[in-house]
Chain A
């Protein structure tokens, strides 16, 4: 359980960092953003991520101060069925994103060179990350 306590602390630091980045992003967009006077859909998405991050920080802080809640969180966190579901969902999501992005890149090629180029770079980046992460786990396991 001590190891899990450490994991939760790391998780809190991660979500605090994420919150800081989101707040900075919202402020920057509001001050210097170009679309809709700086307060556009991107700010909304950043706000939603900020709310999720803060929610996670609060939940983790409560769990750290309450042994019963910590045990409950430990079970949820380590439950192998949940982990399996997350794995399957991630794989499917990855495939759907790849398919969608590939289709969007082809379609964008006929509409805008900039958008097509951006999407191609995103696609290439996803492949590079996938190859790097796969080779990391290949060595690890």
Chain B
């Protein structure tokens, strides 16, 4: 699943650490999300969408079934 976290974070001039603190996750989680190595849970996706003031669909791009 692709996401626009890095794009929105940079546009809002927020550091990875600041975003991590706001979402109560580690900076490593933010790095993995931005690199597409990790897919956020529904709760984290909701929190991230709320943080950026967008909908989950705008933040995460679902590309169909993926193999884990």
Residues in A lying within 8 Å of B, measured CB to CB:
74-76, 78-82, 84
Contacts and interface: CB of A to CB of B under 8 A. Distances in A.
Interface residues of B, number: 13
Interface of B: 20-21, 24-26, 28-29, 32, 38, 40-41, 43-44
A74 B25 CA distance: 9
27 contacts: A74-B24, A75-B20, A75-B21, A75-B24, A75-B25, A75-B26, A76-B26, A78-B24, A79-B24, A79-B25, A79-B26, A79-B29, A80-B25, A80-B29, A80-B40, A80-B41, A80-B43, A80-B44, A81-B25, A81-B26, A81-B28, A81-B29, A81-B32, A81-B38, A82-B26, A82-B29, A84-B38
Given A75-B24, A75-B25, A80-B41, 15 more contacts: A74-B24, A75-B26, A79-B25, A79-B26, A79-B29, A80-B29, A80-B40, A80-B43, A80-B44, A81-B25, A81-B26, A81-B28, A81-B29, A81-B38, A82-B26
Contacts of A78: 24
